[in-house]
Amino acid sequence: MEGHKSETEANDEYKLAEMGYRQDLKRDWSMLHNFGVSFSIISVITGLTTLFQYGLNTGGPGVMSVGWIIVSFF
Protein backbone atom coordinates (compact mmCIF):
# COMPACT_ATOMS: atom_id res chain seq x y z
CA MET A 1 0.00 0.00 0.00
CA GLU A 2 3.01 2.24 -0.34
CA GLY A 3 1.78 4.19 -3.38
CA HIS A 4 -1.96 4.02 -2.71
CA LYS A 5 -3.63 7.26 -1.60
CA SER A 6 -7.24 7.81 -0.63
CA GLU A 7 -9.28 10.54 -2.25
CA THR A 8 -9.13 12.60 0.95
CA GLU A 9 -5.33 12.38 1.09
CA ALA A 10 -5.06 13.39 -2.56
CA ASN A 11 -7.38 16.38 -1.99
CA ASP A 12 -5.41 17.45 1.08
CA GLU A 13 -2.15 17.24 -0.82
CA TYR A 14 -3.63 19.27 -3.69
CA LYS A 15 -4.87 22.00 -1.30
CA LEU A 16 -1.46 22.23 0.31
CA ALA A 17 0.17 22.53 -3.12
CA GLU A 18 -2.20 25.38 -4.01
CA MET A 19 -0.98 27.24 -0.92
CA GLY A 20 2.65 26.61 -1.82
CA TYR A 21 3.36 23.81 0.64
CA ARG A 22 4.19 20.18 0.18
CA GLN A 23 3.03 17.43 2.47
CA ASP A 24 5.75 16.28 4.87
CA LEU A 25 3.60 14.39 7.36
CA LYS A 26 3.52 10.67 6.67
CA ARG A 27 0.18 9.11 7.44
CA ASP A 28 1.25 5.52 7.81
CA TRP A 29 1.57 3.72 11.11
CA SER A 30 2.76 0.18 11.39
CA MET A 31 1.12 -2.32 13.70
CA LEU A 32 3.98 -1.76 16.16
CA HIS A 33 3.41 2.03 16.25
CA ASN A 34 -0.30 1.55 16.81
CA PHE A 35 0.29 -1.00 19.57
CA GLY A 36 2.85 1.23 21.30
CA VAL A 37 0.57 4.25 21.46
CA SER A 38 -2.42 2.19 22.57
CA PHE A 39 -0.39 0.43 25.25
CA SER A 40 0.97 3.73 26.56
CA ILE A 41 -2.50 5.25 26.87
CA ILE A 42 -3.90 2.18 28.61
CA SER A 43 -0.93 2.03 30.99
CA VAL A 44 -1.37 5.67 32.04
CA ILE A 45 -5.10 5.26 32.66
CA THR A 46 -4.58 2.07 34.68
CA GLY A 47 -1.77 3.63 36.70
CA LEU A 48 -3.76 6.75 37.51
CA THR A 49 -6.75 4.84 38.81
CA THR A 50 -4.54 2.57 40.94
CA LEU A 51 -2.51 5.42 42.40
CA PHE A 52 -5.58 7.57 42.95
CA GLN A 53 -7.01 4.98 45.35
CA TYR A 54 -3.64 4.68 47.11
CA GLY A 55 -3.44 8.46 47.54
CA LEU A 56 -6.94 8.68 48.98
CA ASN A 57 -6.18 5.92 51.48
CA THR A 58 -2.82 7.28 52.65
CA GLY A 59 -3.18 11.04 52.48
CA GLY A 60 -6.69 12.02 51.59
CA PRO A 61 -8.02 14.62 49.18
CA GLY A 62 -6.22 17.57 50.78
CA VAL A 63 -2.79 15.97 50.53
CA MET A 64 -3.50 14.82 46.98
CA SER A 65 -4.56 18.31 45.88
CA VAL A 66 -1.52 20.00 47.38
CA GLY A 67 0.68 17.19 46.08
CA TRP A 68 -0.51 17.69 42.49
CA ILE A 69 0.19 21.42 42.72
CA ILE A 70 3.68 20.94 44.17
CA VAL A 71 4.61 18.14 41.74
CA SER A 72 3.39 20.14 38.73
CA PHE A 73 6.14 22.72 39.32
CA PHE A 74 8.86 20.07 39.11
pLDDT at residue 1 in the model: 46
pLDDT at residue 2 in the model: 53
**Residue at 51: amino acid letter:** L
Round to whole Å and give the CA distance between 51 and 44: 10
Nearest to 12 by CA among 30, 26, 2, 1: 26
- 14-55 pLDDT, tens digit per residue, is 999 999 998 887 778 889 999 999 998 888 888 888 888 888
pTM (2 d.p.): 0.40
pLDDT at residue 13 in the model: 86
pLDDT at residue 7 in the model: 84
pLDDT at residue 3 in the model: 61
